[in-house]
Homo-oligomer: A and B are copies of this chain.
Amino acid sequence: MSNASDGGSQLRALRLLWGPAPGGGRGPRRGLTQGRIVEAAAEIADRQGLDGLTMRTLASELGVGVATLYTYVPGRPELLALILDQSIGQGVQPDELSGDWRDRLRQVAYADLQGYLQRPWMLQLLAAQPPALGPNLLAWYESMLRVMADSGLPIDDQVAALEAVDGYVRGMALAMTEDAATGGAGPDTERDAFYADHIDWQAHPLFAAASESGAISDHRANFAFGLERLLAGIAADDDVAPTGDFRAGNK
């Protein structure tokens, strides 16, 4: 009951993702396809952001009335689930890459990062709700497991490693979208001026130093740093540390 905005839309999304196109029945021939709608929707989201993707702008882009959309898609939440799975499908297939499993993992990480940076709304959708397991997500996961199968790790660790790398990429992408948000055209001078004025730099000397040195804003270097450490940690087969730290939390 934590996410109030899901009145069974997840299930409807799944039916859309997997269900067959409802083919030719009686009435007039359909002027659109689900594919065309999803494509146009993703394009609008790319240009205007998720908020700019309204049923009206989408209908107008496609040259149809708003109500028409509802004969193809049950509602906006389901539409969002569709463009998310479609975008996932546009990434690389991990097991088609070259190199050993560690190289491939790294390449997947960079490719996925780029995807998230180009489509920040994917992260918004992922944060709003766990993604429906559509065909593309499933295929990506299976492909990822094929890569991990080469690692010689136990099956549980294969999954854990996969999830860890994927999680890391998403989390870092979250922090890196910052750059895109400012417009890409140079730093936000107004904001920086505000910081300079209102922040007590004396009281935060370490932050001041780190900020000055540029270390904080060099997201790409930070991403590379953490990724290599994570991969190295996974590849090291020696036992790591006390894995138990689960006092707090649920059952």
Say whether A58 faces chain B, with CB atoms less than 8 Å apart.
no
Known A167-B171, A228-B233; contact A127-B123, beta-carbon cutoff 8 A:
yes
Q: Give the copy number.
A: 2
Contact of A175 among B130, B227, B230, B241 (CB under 8 A): B130
Which residues from chain B contact A160 at a C-beta distance below 8 Å? Answer: 215, 221-222, 225-226
With a cutoff of 8 Å between Cβ atoms, the chain B residues found around residue A107 in the complex are 245
Q: Does A207 contact B (CB under 8 A)?
A: yes
The closest CB in chain B to the CB of A52 belongs to B4
- Partner-contacting stretch, out of A31-39, A80-88, A193-201: A193-201
User: Given A141-B207, A215-B159, A230 and B241 touching (CB < 8 A)?
Assistant: no
Interface 9-mer from A21-29, A59-67, A68-76, A149-157: A149-157
A138 interfacial by beta-carbon distance below 8 Å: yes
Q: Does A97 interact with chain B (Cβ within 8 Å)?
A: no
A 170-201 binary contact with B (CB < 8 Å = 1; else 0):
11111101101101100000110011001100
**Contact at B228–A230, with CB atoms within 8 Å?**
no
Cβ < 8 Å to B, chain A residues 1-54 = 1-6, 10-11, 14-15, 18-19, 48-49, 51-52
Q: For the side of the interface on A, what is the size category?
A: 35 or more
Q: Which 9 A-B pairs have the closest CB atoms?
A: A171-B171, A164-B226, A229-B233, A233-B233, A167-B171, A160-B225, A145-B206, A127-B127, A130-B178
Give the contacting residue for A49; candidates B3, B120, B218; CB below 8 A. B3
A26 to B75 Cα, complex, angstroms: 50
Asked if B183 contacts A120 (CB within 8 A), the reply is no
Give Cα A220–Cα B6 distance, bound, in whole angstroms: 24
CB distance from A156 to the nearest CB of B (A): 5
Which residues from B are CB-within-8-Å of A234? 226, 229, 233
- Chain B proximity mask over A103-123: 1 for CB below 8 Å, otherwise 0: 000110011001000001001
Complex alpha-carbon distance, A19 and B198, angstroms: 8
Q: Are A18 and B198 in contact (CB under 8 A)?
A: yes
Residue of B nearest to A8 (CB): B190
